[in-house]
Amino acid sequence: DVQLVESGGGSVQAGGSLRLSCAISGYMNSINCVGWFRQAPGKEREGVTRIVRRGGSTYYADSVKGRFTIPQDNAKNTVYLQMNNLLPEDTAMYYCAASLYYCSLVVSNFAYWGQGTQVTVS
């Protein structure tokens, strides 16, 4: 099995920065990609970004392109979400997720999910 544990959420001012962490354990070598998703109250869960574990290819949603990055530290089995120039519209519960196969940034491709961490931008 695969386990994902998130940390780093909190409240920040607009224009500020925040870094979320996703610690990965379990069948780590079976993971093809790790993604970040977010969900605001009353809205659908949406993809933010994802990284292919081997090779490091990245993809970003248009809404965060140029503001967010997804670094990874394979030695620590950790994927990060670096969030810069935060906007109130970024307020949501943020989830990391793992896919064993397809990496297109849609919920149905990701079988394993973290517990979520709240980000609030005022």
List, for residues 3-38, the tens digit of each pLDDT value.
999 999 999 999 999 999 999 998 778 899 999 999
List, for residues 79-101, the tens digit of each pLDDT value.
999 999 999 999 999 999 999 99
Give the list of residues 6+ apart from residue 16 with CB closer than 8 angstroms, or none: 86, 121
Tokens for 75, please give them: 């030695």
Mean pLDDT taken over the chain: 96
Residue range 93-111: mean pLDDT, rounded: 96
**Helical segments of 1-122, H only:** none
Q: What is the pLDDT of residue 74?
A: 84
- 50 vs 28 pLDDT, higher one: 50
Residue 71 has pLDDT above 80, yes or no: yes
Is 47 within 8 Å of 35 (Cβ atoms)?
yes
The neighbouring-strand residues paired with 82 are: 19, 69
Tokens for 62, please give them: 């248009």
